[in-house]
Every structure is written in C-alpha cells, then in structure tokens.
Amino acid sequence: MALRWREEEIGAVIDSLLDAMARSNLLVCNDDRSEWQRPSPTSFEAIQLALLAEATIQTIERYYLVIALLLQAGPGNITQEALEQRCHLMASACRFSTAWIRPSSSIRACSAISSASCAAGK
C-alpha cells in the first residue's frame, strides 16, 4: 500500500485540497492560514461538508482497523492472510457493537474493542 504522492509532495497536495475546500466555502481560514474551521452549522456548506465526511468515514475506519491490528501484532508477526482474517473479524465486531451508535462514534468504539482485544492477548 502506498500513497500516490511522494512524501515531499504531501504538503502541497494538502494545501491544494484546503484551497479547493475554501473556494467552495466548505472550510474557512484566517489570513495566515494557521487556523481552519467549518462553516456555520446551519449553512448549506456545513451540510455539504457533513455529507463529504460521511462518504469518507468508512475508508478512514478501515485504515484505522488495519493499522490497529498491525500494531497489535507487532513487526513481522502477522501474515497477510491472518491480517485479512483479523480485519474481517474486527469489522464484524465493530459493526455489531456500533449498530446503535452514531457513525462518528464508531472509530472510538472500535478503538475500545481493539484495545480490549489487545489487552486480552487476542
């Protein structure tokens, strides 16, 4: 798994994305671009930003699960097949445990499950 950009390009890519979001009024920044914030919660742009976030949260959660499982296993201690199996198990556990929780809370809930599994030596 690799990024499509080289490490030295990441800053410019992020700046470009922030600029695009600012032009669309999805984010607002101060004059020196050191602080960014969302638009007013009742605005149309805030709704658009929330929809964008909702569309990306599953991908972020999947990456989080993989990273958590890799960290739990330790360097060189898990095969690709075992990682895939653990990802499926963890995703199932997270779906089950967060069915009643707001989607934005599922990362925290999955983190708790992962920590508990790690503490139990699973």
CB atoms within 10 A of CB 120: 7
Question: For residue 65, which of 93, 99, 101, 97 has the smallest C-alpha distance?
Answer: 93
What pLDDT does residue 110 have? 52
Residue 102, token pair as written in the block = 């707001």
Query: pLDDT digits over 54-81, tens only?
Result: 888 888 888 888 888 899 888 889 898 9
Does the pLDDT of residue 106 top 60, yes or no? no
Task: Kindly report the pTM of this predicted structure.
Answer: 0.56
